Chain A
Amino acid sequence: MTDSSGTPPNPLLVSRNYFTFAQPPNEMILDCGYRLGPITLAYETLGELNAEGSNAILILHAFSGDSHVAGYLHENDDRPGWWDNMVGPGKPVDTNQYFVICSNILGGCSGSTGPSSINPETGRPYGLGFPMVTIKDMVRAQKHLIDHLGINKLMSLIGGSVGGMQVLRWCADYPEMIASAIPLATTTRHSAQAIAFNEVARQAIMADPNWNNGDYYSGPGPVHGLAVARMIGHVTYLSDEAMRDKFGRRLHRSSLSFDFTGDFQVESYLHHQGKKFVTRFDANSLLYITKAADYFDLERGNGSLLINETLADVSFLVISFSSDWLYPTYQSKDIVSSLKKNGSDVSFCEIEAQWGHDAFLLPNKRLNGLISGFLDRVYHEHCL
């Protein structure tokens, strides 16, 4: 169904929009106390908001995602959005029926305010002058966008991984604005293991001399450090089984090289992922976002922040993947356990899949069926 350029004949075209708010002196106050403003969020929308404003779905992207969730940005665009198999007309998140919003997170590097943005006070990129942002800050900024779009209640929130953390943060902070939520392959708090991998990724960037304490925007930047950071990430997104299946010990050349240029297919896969990543992602954004994910903790203090009476009226679909060792099933079950205490309507499914954490982004019939069936019910219960 695609022509030679890879774009389907009648591509679904979407455009990127920008919303700027928190103009001084009304800056947004962050968890760390910093007054940040102005803030710009890049966002894209698909479908139409109905007259009652009741069919809006907010999709929250994972750590390296962006606002381009589905469709094509222009006629000759050869790559659709990152969740094009899930979102679009006639797809599980059916844009013929729902109004879909996706925004780039605060601290990101795809159009929203982040460390690579120009600091209005200095006229130069923020770099490490950018304040530490948290998942709560990201969600607070999204709330401004949702208010701006005139939506009082979101029909659903969907997000995997760090996107799932944002879903849960929304539930903890603005439960009255939510009819339903789908946290996928996520957790209420990083395990020591997840923090450990993030720290190695950060150290890889900071050890690159071109990082220059975050002040590299006029130079080449820490491309090697960033590539290594991405390679580490990809190891955590796969699984032992997936790697065995995908690469085994196969070589990507005919014989061993007896040098360090890389012999195995798994090595060239990681090199490729690293190289591809540095062309589209900012190293400082990786530092900030991984830190925000590490700081995220809904269990801190007096019990889970998901135990909240207001959430009794929210329907949940929690999904984990059997081979995900970054956010294992037991972490999703902890989410379910807290939500049950509210009397919330909560469904849970652990999908048998060999692809590790990556599974939530890959085409998967079961995932499609679960999400479309759940959304259909929520639509009929809340929107009609």
Chain B
Amino acid sequence: MNTVFNQDLGTMRFDLQVIASWIDPGSRVLDLGCGNGDLLDYLKKHKQVNGTGIEYSEDKAARCIERGLTVLQGDFRKEVLDYPENRFDVIILSQTLQQVHDPKELLVDLLRIGKRVIVSFPNFAHWSARLQILFTGMAPVTDQLPYEWYNTPNIRVISIKDFKRFLRITGIRVVREVAINTHHHDYKGHIVRSLTNLRATYGIMMLERVS
């Protein structure tokens, strides 16, 4: 499963391809920041999931609904609050954690309404970012973090090591994890097995509440 999954999958971002491969058929899925709904559409067609997406942009949310997906337009930070406990089998938070104000509270909320949460985030400790800081003395701009300090939506930086330490402290269990390295506009990539915090561009983890 390292590179190619199938035709439909290949048109999705590589981290989403990995996430899709982790979803059990028929599960109830919530996709936060679902964008154009490519992942949800794939999961619906190929894994018969019962899926809902939340998307802030009216344009994107409307496009999702037009293509037959179930999507709520709104701020997911607020929208997740009124779901009942265990409403979803799995919640997907892909490349968004670095943009939320209260990641700890968010994960607590998500692990209430969902049994499991899959999180993916750009690894700030990738060697290319490290070298840029070291040699240029400036905030790194990489393929995964393509913004300048003044226009980035990312309000915090996370490394794989930081995130694992955070999970240990907060007592959230990691069910599954993988580190990936992507290239070609993030549509292709491979799994990194050693020195992940140095060599991987993204970390992906499936989390579970410790009851």
Q: Which residues of A contact B (CB under 8 A)?
A: 315, 317, 333, 336-337, 340-341, 343, 345-352, 366, 369-370, 372-374, 376-377, 380
Contacts and interface: CB of A to CB of B under 8 A. Distances in A.
Secondary structure at chain B's binding surface: helix, strand, loop or mixed?
A: mixed
Contact of A315 (B61, B70, B72): B70
Contacts of B72: 336, 346-348
Question: Taking each of A340, A341, A343, A370, which has the highest tally of chain B beta carbons within 10 Å of its own beta carbon?
Answer: A340
Task: Give me the 3 closest cross-chain CB pairs, A-B, nearest first.
Answer: A373-B66, A377-B68, A369-B66
Given A343-B87, A345-B50, A350-B73, A373 B65 contact: yes
Given A333-B74, A348-B72, A343 B65 contact: no
Interface of B: 50, 52, 58, 61-62, 65-74, 82-84, 87
A340 B58 CA distance: 20
Nearest to B67: A373
Nearest to B55: A349
Given A366-B62, A374-B65, A348 B73 contact: yes
Contacts of B67: 373
A348 B76 CA distance: 13
Contacts of B84: 340-341, 343
B50 A349 contact: no
A249 to B, nearest CB: 31
Given A317-B65, A340-B82, A370-B65, A346 B58 contact: no
Given A341-B84, A370-B66, A347 B71 contact: yes
B28 to A, nearest CB: 8
B62 A341 contact: no
A379 to B, nearest CB: 10
A181 to B, nearest CB: 14
A340 B83 contact: yes
Given A341-B82, A341-B84, A343-B87, A349 B62 contact: yes
Contact of B58 (A315, A352, A377): A352
Contacts of A345: 50, 52, 70
A185 to B, nearest CB: 15
8 contacts: A346-B70, A347-B65, A348-B61, A349-B73, A373-B65, A374-B68, A376-B68, A380-B68
Given A340-B83, A370-B65, 20 more contacts: A317-B65, A337-B82, A340-B82, A340-B87, A341-B83, A343-B84, A343-B87, A346-B52, A347-B65, A347-B70, A347-B71, A349-B61, A349-B62, A349-B65, A349-B71, A349-B73, A351-B62, A369-B62, A373-B66, A374-B65
B58 A351 contact: yes
Contacts of A350: 58, 73
A340 B52 CA distance: 11
Contacts of A374: 65, 68
Contacts of A372: 66
A156 B49 CA distance: 23
Contacts of A340: 82-84, 87
A348 B74 contact: yes
A52 B88 CA distance: 33
A359 to B, nearest CB: 14
A316 B70 CA distance: 9
A314 B70 CA distance: 12
A315 B65 CA distance: 12
Contacts of A369: 62, 65-66
Contacts of A370: 62, 65-66
A130 to B, nearest CB: 41
Given A345-B52, A352-B58, A373 B70 contact: no
B141 to A, nearest CB: 33
A308 to B, nearest CB: 13
A350 B71 CA distance: 12
A352 B65 CA distance: 16
B118 to A, nearest CB: 21
A220 to B, nearest CB: 48
B134 to A, nearest CB: 46
Contacts of B70: 315, 345-347
A211 to B, nearest CB: 45
Nearest to B52: A345
Given A340-B82, A352-B58, A373 B74 contact: no
A27 B52 CA distance: 45
B33 to A, nearest CB: 15
Contacts of B61: 348-349
A287 B68 CA distance: 41
Nearest to B82: A337
A345 B69 CA distance: 10
Contacts of B58: 349-352
A201 B62 CA distance: 36
A205 B198 CA distance: 77
Nearest to B71: A347
Nearest to A367: B62
A340 B74 CA distance: 14
A60 to B, nearest CB: 21
A373 B68 CA distance: 5
Contacts of A352: 58
Nearest to B64: A347
